[in-house]
Amino acid sequence: EVQLVESGGGLVQPGGSLTLSCVASGFTFTSTPMSWVRQAPGKGLEWVSQINKGGDYRHYTDSVKGRFTVSRDNAKNTLDLQLNNLKTEDTATYHCAKGWVTSCSGNECYDIDARKTDLGQGTQVTVSS
pLDDT (tens digit per residue) in 106-127: 999 999 899 999 999 999 999 9
Query: Rounded mean pLDDT of the chain?
Result: 97
Confidence of residue 9 (pLDDT cuts 50, 70, 90): very high
Q: Which of 83, 65, 69 is nearest to 14 (CA)?
A: 83
How confident is the model at residue 45, as a pLDDT?
97
Confidence of residue 46 (pLDDT cuts 50, 70, 90): very high
Q: Which of 51, 64, 65, 55 is nearest to 98 (CA)?
A: 51
How confident is the model at residue 66, as a pLDDT?
97
pLDDT (tens digit per residue) in 15-36: 999 999 999 999 999 999 999 9
Average pLDDT over residues 56-78: 98
Find all residues with CB under 8 Å of 58, minimum gap 6, and list them.
49, 50, 51, 52, 69, 70
